[in-house]
Chains A and B, each alone.
Chain A
Amino acid sequence: MKLTDIMGQEHIISLLTASLESGRISHAYLFFGPEGTGKTTTAMLFAMALNCERKGEDKDLPCGICSSCKRMKNFNYPDFQVIEPSGLSIKIDQIREVQREIGLKSYEGGWRIFLIKDAETMTIEAGNSLLKVLEEPTDGCVLILISHNYLEMLETIRSRCQLMEFRKMPSPVLEELLIEKYSCSPERALLLSGLADGAIGRALHLNEDDGFFSLREKVLNLLSDHMNPDILKALNFYEELEDSKDKDKSREVVLDILDIMKTWYRDLVVYSYCGDTLLLINQDRKYNIIEEAKVYSIDRLQEMIQKIDEVRYGIERAKGANLPLAIDRIFMELFSEKLGH
């Protein structure tokens, strides 16, 4: 894979290839943007391109076949360090280690590259201790920070980096890509791009994730069955999911459920205002939406979306949140109207 193979981020790729050509390499980059937009992939390719043996001969970097590229890809390159959160955050000792390493000379004679993943998880102490090296590292060093939540980072860090903003892909481009390269049907491409909100990584992930679609099917069936609301079924729903027992997966599943709910009620709001199915995300459920939209007032729908947001916010904040309780709560909230009848 070459840098130019990255789709939908032309503004970044053209900048990076231009600086590779002209040699205007900055000492610190911050790659930020939503999840699944290609930040880590681009960072890897850029790091490979910086030390690629065919640099200067070839314009389309990295070659991916020279020894340097291969070793980088396998994380066997001595001048290439990846810093990742240990546990939930990046600690000050990890950054101290970076400082020590930055003082050293290059082993292979090329660029020394430090890739800091999930940079927003740096503790305040870690972030502050990065400031000095981030501003003036030893010559020949490049720091690449990656973050999907750059607002959480220190302003002083952001100000020291070249900011590379990864954007979501325009939905027509994403749909075309899905149809051509991943042989999706146009309907499925439309659905995927809507559900992934333009993030290509997410769309590709969903495309192969049958579990997600069956989960979505179950949730939407519960939500759209307004004629005879089944609160018992809803409350048992989460317990009966297989993934809910898997500790690592359960969190993701809950967040998925909340997102599915949110897109659903969003569609109802949009349909209530527009009376048109063109802008809907859940394209395959048009008829359910038209039916359901008759039941709720817009205020009520907004309220529901807010409730979903609240629960989601709570789960993201508290790492030890009680997930089954969260799902039960949200179903109670959503069904409160139906239960009242």
Chain B
Amino acid sequence: MYLSLYRKWRPDSFAQVVGQEHVTRVLQNAIGMGRIHHAYLFCGPRGTGKTSIARLFAKALNCEKGPLPEPCNSCSNCSKIKAGHFSDLIEIDAASNRGIDEIRDLRERVRFSPIEGRYKIYIIDEVHMLTAEAFNALLKTLEEPPAHCIFIMATTEPQKIPLTISSRCQYLNFYRISFNDTLDHLRKVITHENVSVAEEGLRLIAKKAEGGLRDALGLLEQAISFGGTDVSAEDVRRMLGTTDDKVLSDFVKIVSQGRAADGFILIKNIIDEGKNLEQFLKDLIERFRDLMIIAECGQEAWKLVDVFEDECEILQAEAAQFDKEEFLKILEVLSESVNRFRYAAHGRIVLEMTLVKLISSLEVPSVPIEKNISVAEEKVSEKIQAVKESSPKPSIERRTVIQKDPEELSKDVGDLELSRFVEQWRSILNAVKKESVKVHAFMIDGEPVSFQENVLTIRFTSNYSFHKQNLEKEPNRQIAEKVIGDFLNKTIKIECLLVGEGKDSSSSGVSSNTASTNVQAEDDLVKAALDIFGGKVVKVE
């Protein structure tokens, strides 16, 4: 009789369990020390070993050679449990026997002592499906069962278990099985089964299994049925319908460059190859998630992303195409589309509209088409018309402007002026040079960083404290202020600061006051420093 791989490879001993050491240790120590709790609750995602470990635990407790941390697997009790007809191991499918009557029945039978073994063990699988009445009927028994009785409950949905139940149990949480553990296990299985599967194929399977070992073994079995004894990576890819990395790269490029037309053709090609579009969308999400992590986490990223070494460079280049906001937008659009797949009949159109949304949400100028321009022109002219017709509108707008926080307003203006300074700094310097070569020499190493309420702040790096000091002295400062003032047609003041004084280009008017006191303090500091390194200062002067 042929048996599925995932049934064939159920662990026979705690040592064979993959990836749940934190659970097996608790159970083995409990047996070793004789501190066996009367009720356990196993929680965790599908395919992580809940039922398998429950059976193992039952075996270890009932092994003829005394409760052992590791069952002997040779005595008659052990082999009966393995074959599934041990009379003191009662496995209950709580999803099918979920009513209060079944639990009443159970309560009655709990009292009888075990027939063959040491303990009478109840494994209640899928326990989350019991009805509320059934749960409550179980409470008393669960709290104080007869000494020979042990309950093991297993579920994938612990949030559905009443607190009164879980507080009476030892709660053991099963983890998803890691990518590497899955991969190792798959390697072990294929050597024992005498088949060869390409390493890349195994990786694809392990990735697709998403932490469920049963899923991984199921997929492996399918791959073997598909490819025979020698399974190539291509076989696995065809079986899973995974998208080629090249296609994903192309799609990323198309999105980043906003080439919708090429995108439609790419989608058509995917369809013509008979690929599953939903899978493609999922692969895309995976890809953009990887790219976001690479862009955001630097070197750490490679621990979080399952990729082959030769892909690193390509991925890094792709990741650099987008910023954080864009990644968030992309992932939002994509995950919304995944939901759409459930109800939309035309997968192709879902994907195409996703593409259009991606491109328009990134606001990459798309390939210009005359029609679009003319539509836009029409719209603009419509808007203009509308504005002209509705005259009271502007006054409302003006009022809203006035209501704006004045500080914020001045800041906006300041930023605007500052950018003008930065742009024209060179010509300002030239004008200063015409007036005074000396002042120009002091100013040339400075950098305009803020312009607030007619006060221009010039920043110097600490190497240029001498220049700063001299620029602050009269009449140098007056000359500079006059020239710049003439340049702008208004009177301005200049303030200087050294880098490291905690003031940067984005500081507001309020903080400029504190900054000036800082300058004072810094001056004292500088003077003190100059006192210590006096020789140098003398030489400069």
Are chains A and B native binding partners rather than an unrelated pairing?
Answer: yes
B342-369 with Cβ < 8 A to chain A: 342-349, 352-353, 356-357, 360, 366-367, 369
Per-residue 0/1 for B59-100: is the Cβ within 8 Å of any A Cβ (1 yes, 0 no)? Answer: 000000000000000000000000000000000010110100
* Complex Cα gap A132–B356 (Å): 45
Q: Taking each of A25, A26, A163, which has the highest tally of chain B beta carbons within 10 Å of its own beta carbon?
A: A26
Per-residue 0/1 for A304-321: is the Cβ within 8 Å of any B Cβ (1 yes, 0 no)? Answer: 010001001100110000
Q: Are B261 and A305 neighbours in the complex by a CB distance under 8 Å? A: no
Q: Is A243 part of the contact surface with B, judged by Cβ < 8 Å? A: no
Q: Is A279 part of the contact surface with B, judged by Cβ < 8 Å? A: yes
Chain B nearest CB: distance from A26 CB in Å? 6
Q: Are B226 and A14 neighbours in the complex by a CB distance under 8 Å? A: yes
Interface 9-mer from B271-279, B286-294, B449-457: B271-279
Q: Is B375 part of the contact surface with A, judged by Cβ < 8 Å? A: yes
Interface 9-mer from A65-73, A205-213, A226-234, A290-298: A290-298
Q: A152-B342, A170-B272 known; A159 and B352 CB under 8 Å?
A: no
Q: Which of the residues A125, A169, A170, A302 comes within 8 Å of B98, measured between beta carbons?
A: A125
* Complex Cα gap A274–B347 (Å): 20
Q: Are A266 and B353 neighbours in the complex by a CB distance under 8 Å? A: yes
Q: A18-B226, A279-B268 known; A197 and B241 CB under 8 Å?
A: no
Q: Is A276 part of the contact surface with B, judged by Cβ < 8 Å? A: yes
- Contact residue range for chain B? 35 or more
B178-232 with Cβ < 8 A to chain A: 212, 214-215, 218-219, 221-222, 224-226, 228
Q: Are A272 and B369 neighbours in the complex by a CB distance under 8 Å? A: yes
A169-220 with Cβ < 8 A to chain B: 169-173, 197-198
A313 cross-chain contacts in B, Cβ below 8 A: 343
Chain A nearest CB: distance from B22 CB in Å? 22
Q: Which of the residues A125, A132, A149 comes within 8 Å of B342, measured between beta carbons?
A: A149
Q: Are A8 and B225 neighbours in the complex by a CB distance under 8 Å? A: no
Q: Are A139 and B375 neighbours in the complex by a CB distance under 8 Å? A: no
A269 cross-chain contacts in B, Cβ below 8 A: 352-353, 356
Q: Is B527 part of the contact surface with A, judged by Cβ < 8 Å? A: no
Q: A169-B274, A170-B271, A276-B261 known; A305 and B353 CB under 8 Å?
A: yes
A135 cross-chain contacts in B, Cβ below 8 A: 7, 51
Contact surface of B with A, Cβ cutoff 8 Å: 1-2, 4, 7, 45-47, 51, 93, 95-96, 98, 125-126, 128-129, 156, 212, 214-215, 218-219, 221-222, 224-226, 228, 238-239, 241, 260-261, 264-265, 268, 271-276, 340-349, 352-353, 356-357, 360, 366-367, 369, 371-372, 375, 379
Given contacts A24-B224, A131-B125, 16 further A-B contacts (CB under 8 A): A26-B4, A125-B129, A128-B95, A128-B129, A132-B95, A159-B215, A162-B218, A163-B218, A167-B241, A197-B345, A197-B348, A263-B346, A273-B264, A273-B367, A274-B260, A302-B360
5 pairs, CB–CB < 8 Å, chain A vs chain B: A159-B214, A165-B276, A167-B276, A173-B274, A273-B261
The 7 closest A-B CB pairs, nearest first, are A128-B95, A129-B96, A132-B93, A274-B261, A129-B95, A273-B260, A159-B46
